[in-house]
Chain A
Amino acid sequence: EAQVTQNPRYLITVTGKKLTVTCSQNMNHEYMSWYRQDPGLGLRQIYYSMNVEVTDKGDVPEGYKVSRKEKRNFPLILESPSPNQTSLYFCASSSDGSFSYEQYFGPGTRLTVT
């Protein structure tokens, strides 16, 4: 089954404790992306990657890091989480980054930073 998987689905952590949210897709997609979803703000892009070893900032990259060492994986790293990073995070992928292709979304990771 074609899918995007994320782990963990739920995470509660404390300020400053480094964490990684994993994202993996099995569709051989070139393009992957991370979003955060906050009430009243919709989805905002954090980082995206057009291919292996190619990443770029989205609209809200501060406090996040990403890496794309393999085509299928695109982990999101919070080196020193803060309470304002409490949010619902979605990973997405698509065949490429061009404008007509849909993105496939993972189920989401709900992160709480205390």
Chain B
Amino acid sequence: GDSVTQMEGPVTLSEEAFLTINCTYTATGYPSLFWYVQYPGEGLQLLLKATKADDKGSNKGFEATYRKETTSFHLEKGSVQVSDSAVYFCALRSNSGYSTLTFGKGTMLLVSP
């Protein structure tokens, strides 16, 4: 079945540092890929998405590129802020008709001033 593997956290960074959170997936066909963010005490919000190979999703300074050859969708940001502290979830959705959203276990990011 489909699965998503994320690097374990927490990831601790100083403000303005470069961020990478690794995400790899296993799925049949060509799934859509998503990054969701969960701020403390809140529900999940879509951060960015990519629906086909080589697509780059971007939002709020975050980027991720859909790499079919390495089955990866790593999240990056050039300069993190304290306000980016949250839990980040990589997810996929199979393109075989109606399907569920499969999540990774989440990676907590802690950014200090």
Contacts and interface: CB of A to CB of B under 8 A. Distances in A.
Interface of A: 4, 31, 33, 40-45, 48, 50, 58-59, 90, 92, 96-100, 102-108
A42 B43 contact: no
B82 interface: no
B105 A99 contact: no
* Cβ-closest 3 pairs across A and B: A105-B43, A97-B98, A42-B105
A99 B36 CA distance: 15
B17 interface: no
B106 A98 contact: no
Interface of B: 31-32, 34, 36, 41-46, 49, 51, 89, 93-95, 97-101, 103-106
Contacts of B98: 31, 50, 96-98
Contact of B32 (A40, A44, A96, A100): A100
Nearest to B104: A42
